[in-house]
Chain A
Amino acid sequence: MNFFEVFELPRRLTIDGDDLQRRFYALARRTHPDFHQSAPPAERAAVEERAALVNAAYRTLRDPIARVDYLVRLEEGRSTREGGEARPKAPPALLAEMFEIQEALAEAKAGPLDDATRATLVEQRDRLLERYGAEERRLTGPLAAQWDGAAPAERPDALAALKAALAARAYLRTVITDLAEALGEEESGVAHHRH
């Protein structure tokens, strides 16, 4: 059973958060182990697994980006485990403009940061954070709407667009993290989207 089926929802990216929460709470009331204490030991494992599935489904679908990521994997029939990906490659469209940043990064790694390099890194980091935000808004806005409205024949294109935007976002994220590390900052400013 996939996460959309858990909540009896169609495979669409526009989900009303309040409605999802209501469905989750209603389902949790039926599946939570608290209400199956008298089940025989053999059934208890199944109870825990079922509750774990409901929890995982809610965790994924309530987050608009994780939701897209999940949908893409589901459509492509890939493993739907969260996280654990190798370091993302630069999408071709971003390659050229990343060249300058990679150079500055290499310089920063080679020796101590001088003020000019630091200023460049900060400027680049801020610019990329902006891009990162824009990519997320595109994913959860127009691209999600494009998928939801796509006729069956249009779906491969809509899916490809989602996938490309996800890849760009993932790549931006690693570069931003690299920049933050080079700047000696702990927080990259790339927060996980939750709640």
Chain B
Amino acid sequence: MSRIIGIDLGTTNSLVAYVDEKSGLPRVIPDAEGRTLLPSVVGFTPDGLIVGEAARRQLARRPAHTVYSVKRLMGRGYEDVKNELAYLPFTVAPAEGTVKLRVGGREVTPPEVSAAVLKALKDRAERHFGEEVEKAVITVPAYFNDAQRQATRDAGRIAGLDVVRIVNEPTAASLAYGLQRLEEGVIAVYDLGGGTFDVSILRVKDGVFEVLATNGDTHLGGDDFDRVLQLWLLEDVQARHHAELTRDCVDLARDAELMQELRLAAEAAKIRLSAEERTTLALPLPGFTYRRDITRAEIERLIEPLVGKTLGPCRRALADAGLTPADIEQVVLVGGSTRVPLVRRRVRELFGRTPHSQLNPDEVVALGAAVQAHILAGGITDMLLLDVTPLSLGIESLGGIVNVLIPRNTTVPTSAREMFTTSVDGQTLVDLHVVQGERELVKDCRSLGRFELRIDPMPAGMPKIEVTFLIDANGILQVQAREQRTGKAASIEVKPTYGLSEPEIERMIEESFTYAEADVETRMLIEARNEADTVLTHAGRALRQGAELMSPEERIAIEAAVGALRSARDSDDRERIHGATVAVNQATEHLAEVLMDAALKGALGSRRAAEILKEPQ
């Protein structure tokens, strides 16, 4: 069987991994610069798409053309997400069964954006192996519903990947731990990522990883921490600098670029406060520089309610598994947000034991995906993952009540059979409405789709149609119907409530070949230009803010370097652009340091600003 890669398609970062044949251990594949994390950010430029670090760097500069956290929109309709759209700098519009993003003069769906990220990972893997890679295991939050899983699989197809399995993130993590560090017994995996939260309870025995129960919240993660911090920061800036803002007529909340700056500053402070007790927020804004100290305790007060929201799903998962916290023998932490000390504290309190975190929480899901890929490829035969479906599956019955066919936490694959008949003579159509969720009423559950069964006309009550609902190992529903009198398979027309139609997917696959920047050289040129733009913006700002802080010679040198970069930027010579960019960076290095020291003066005593502002990766 051909090679299968494991992909963690994350809200904030994505990774690709494989199992090394010699050592039998999973490894993450780095890019040319040695970075393993690919920011799940896609930028739309006039020249084409850019993905990853280069796109992330243009977030603040081109907010309306840069898409991040698209995972939160996967498999969702406009009604589901409209409340959070105010926080997103790009335009999101309703569309049939999905949402569309208007970016860079194009309309794209969330699976297409995710496909760009997957394509970048596919390219990375192909460069690493020196051969084409066609198959992948992709992870999703355990609590993803059918539509969200299908959207992820569609993204894979658009990226040119055969998605051989959709695996749940916490269970993937347990495989990675299981390979190296886990003892047998009952474990809880607490997975708090950029945008989603999952908890899974597993029994590990004789190489079998049996999921007993899972629960979660597909709209809760580090992004939400950033958002409360961003809003707090916004209020604080407005309160402290009311005079300057009024004078300059700056409405921070309506300025997409400045709001991005606030969000990025909030995120950076959050990350620093996981390692330190206090940090300084220093944010150059038009006309003034905002700065203040913030302590870990302060941000903990702000994010406490969000962290608290993860505990309910933990308790529900335990209850569904028929267990109490004392039955849990090991706890594993997964996801970048579990670096937050408050999260660790709450998890320790709930389960009464110190959680495992030896494996890098950013990488462990990708490593597990690689292990599952290796199992599917036949490379591992002594490990087996038995996962469950996170949500109950039912059909609509009289009065809008849900008739549950497959309860949540049933081991997959699983199937249920149900008999249907007609109520009117000559009826040729039977309509089934399939929903997912835990509520009694259809209107409170998630509509998956309508299945229309076509049958030959017969007197009412005569047809006996057996419908089989099968949830496969991916957690995705398949429906089959058979008319028992004739033994014929009844034809089913599927009308999914959410998601892309088959013709749409095929069109997107076509387009991805037509429009994709097939040429690596072109992409590198775009990235170089973007880097140049970022450096030019920074240099321009430094020149304005540091007018009194530099010598005439320094100013002339900087202006010359900037001029050279401006003319190089629009050329097609990547080396030249890169060289000119480096030159501007060197020319402004001293000024940048002086500016930073000026900004931080007094706040930090004798420590050097550059040292303090160095962000942990």
Q: Tell me the A residues contacting B by CB distance below 8 Å.
A: 21, 25, 28-29, 32-35, 37-38, 48-49, 51-53, 55-56, 58-59, 81, 83-84, 191-195
CA distance A66 to B208 in the complex (A): 24
| Contact (Cβ within 8 A) B413 A59 | no
Nearest chain-A residue to B415 (Cβ)? A52
Across the interface, do A33 and B375 meet the contact criterion of CB distance under 8 Å? Answer: no
Q: Report which of A38, A84, A191 forms a contact with B1, defined as CB distance below 8 A.
A: A38
Structural contact, B376 and A32, CB atoms closer than 8 A = no
The reply to whether A48 and B473 contact each other, CB–CB distance below 8 Å, is yes
| Chain A residues within an 8 Å CB radius of B404 | 83
Contact B470 A32 (CB under 8 A): no
**Could you say which of A38, A51, A81 contacts B413, with CB atoms under 8 Å apart?**
A51
B410 touches A59 (CB 8 A): yes
Q: What are 10 A-to-B residue pairs whose CB atoms are below 8 Å? A: A28-B208, A28-B384, A34-B375, A35-B378, A48-B413, A56-B415, A81-B418, A83-B404, A192-B322, A194-B322
A81 to B407, CA, bound (A): 13
Q: Which A residues lie within 8 Å of B165 (CB)?
A: 34
B contact residues around A58 at 8 Å (CB): 411
Q: Which B residues from 305 to 325 make CB contacts under 8 A with A?
A: 319-323
B208 lies within 8 A of A25 (CB)? yes
Taking CB atoms, residues of chain B closer than 8 Å to A195 are 212, 321-323
B184 at the A/B interface (Cβ < 8 Å)?
no
Docked CA distance A98–B508 (Å) = 64
The yes or no answer to B205 lying at the interface (CB within 8 A) is yes
Question: Are the CB atoms of A34 and B208 closer together than 8 Å?
Answer: no
In contact, A37 and B164 (Cβ under 8 angstroms) = yes
Cβ of B218 within 8 Å of any chain A Cβ, yes or no, is no
Is B358 close to A, CB under 8 A? no
A191 to B313, CA, bound (A): 17
Q: Is B559 an interface residue (CB 8 A)?
A: no
* Chain B 344-378 interface mask (CB, 8 Å, partner A; 1/0): 00000000000000000000000000000001111
Bound-state Cα–Cα, A25 to B206, Å: 8
Complex formed: what's the CA distance from A56 to B416 in Å?
A: 9
Complex Cα spacing A32 to B206, Å: 16
A83 to B393, CA, bound (A): 13
| Structural contact, B384 and A34, CB atoms closer than 8 A | yes
Task: Among B206, B212, B418, find the residue whose CB has the most chain A CB atoms closer than 10 A.
Answer: B206
Quick check: is B403 within 8 A (CB to CB) of the other chain? yes
B53 in the interface (beta carbon within 8 A): no
Interface extent on B, as a size class? 35 or more
Least CB distance from B1 to A in Å reads: 6
B411-469 residues at the A interface, CB under 8 angstroms: 411-418
Residue on A nearest B321 in the bound complex, by CB:
A195
How many Å lie between the Cα of A83 and that of B418 in the bound state? 12
Which B residue sits closest to A80, measured CB to CB? Answer: B417
Do the beta carbons of A35 and B381 come within 8 Å of each other? yes
Extra pairs beyond A37-B376, A81-B416 (13, CB < 8 Å):
A29-B208, A34-B375, A34-B384, A35-B381, A48-B415, A48-B478, A51-B413, A52-B470, A55-B414, A56-B415, A81-B418, A83-B407, A191-B319
Is B472's beta carbon under 8 Å from chain A? yes
- The main secondary structure of chain A at its interface with chain B is helix
B interface, over-half SS: strand
The answer to whether B413 touches A33, judged by C-beta atoms less than 8 angstroms apart, is yes
Shortest Cβ-Cβ A-B pairs, 4 listed: A52-B415, A55-B411, A52-B413, A195-B322
Bound-state CA distance A8–B587 (Å) is: 79
Inter-chain contacts of A194 with B (CB < 8 A): 320-322
Cα(A166)–Cα(B43), bound, Å: 62
What is the bound-complex CA distance between A21 and B319, given in angstroms? 21
| A46→B411 CA distance, assembly (Å) | 17
B386 at the interface (CB under 8 A from A): yes
**Nearest CB of B to A139, in Å:** 18
> Nearest A residue to B407 by beta-carbon distance?
A83
Task: Give the contacting residue for B403; candidates A29, A53, A84, A193; CB below 8 A.
Answer: A84
Q: Are B472 and A33 in contact (CB under 8 A)?
A: yes
A55 pairs with B378, CB closer than 8 A: no
Known: A49-B470, A194-B322. A37 touches B384 (CB 8 A): no
- Among B417, B418, B472, find the residue whose CB has the most chain A CB atoms closer than 10 A: B472
Tell whether B92 is near chain A: CB-to-CB under 8 Å: no
Q: A38–B411 Cα gap in the complex (Å)?
A: 22
CA distance A58 to B417 in the complex (A): 17
**Interface membership of B41, Cβ < 8 A:** no
Q: Are A55 and B321 in contact (CB under 8 A)?
A: no
Q: Quick check: B1 and A34 within 8 Å, CB to CB?
A: no
Give the chain A neighbours of B416 by CB distance below 8 A: 81
Whole-angstrom distance between the Cβ of B586 and the nearest chain A Cβ = 54
- A34-B473 contact, Cβ under 8 Å, with A55-B413, A59-B410, A81-B416: yes
Q: How far is the CA of A32 from the CA of B418 in the complex (A)?
A: 24
CB proximity of B380 to chain A, nearest CB, Å: 10
* A49 proximity list for chain B (CB < 8 A): 413, 415, 470
Task: Tell me, rounded to whole Å, the shortest Cβ–Cβ distance linking B22 to chain A.
Answer: 23
Name A83's closest neighbour in chain B (CB-CB): B404
Q: How far is the CB of B446 from chain A (nearest CB, A)?
A: 20
B341 to chain A, nearest CB (A): 33
Are A37 and B410 CB-contacts (below 8 A) given A32-B386, A195-B212? no
Contacts of A55 in B (CB 8 A): 386, 410-414
The reply to whether B414 and A52 form a contact with Cβ atoms under 8 Å apart is yes
Q: Is the CB of A48 within 8 A of B472?
A: yes
- In angstroms, Cα B468 to Cα A56, docked, is 14
Residue from A34, A49, A55 whose CB has the most chain B CB atoms within 10 Å: A34
Minimal beta-carbon separation of B492 from chain A (angstroms): 15
B495 to A: closest C-beta gap in Å: 22
Please indicate which of the listed interface residues A28, A194, A195 has the most CB atoms of chain B within 10 Å of its own CB.
A195
Q: CA separation between A53 and B407, bound complex, in Å?
A: 15
Residues of A within 8 A of B334 (CB): none
- Does B15 sit within 8 A of A, measured CB to CB? no
Q: Which residues of B contact A56 (CB under 8 A)?
A: 414-415
Is the C-beta of B385 less than 8 angstroms from some C-beta in chain A? Answer: yes
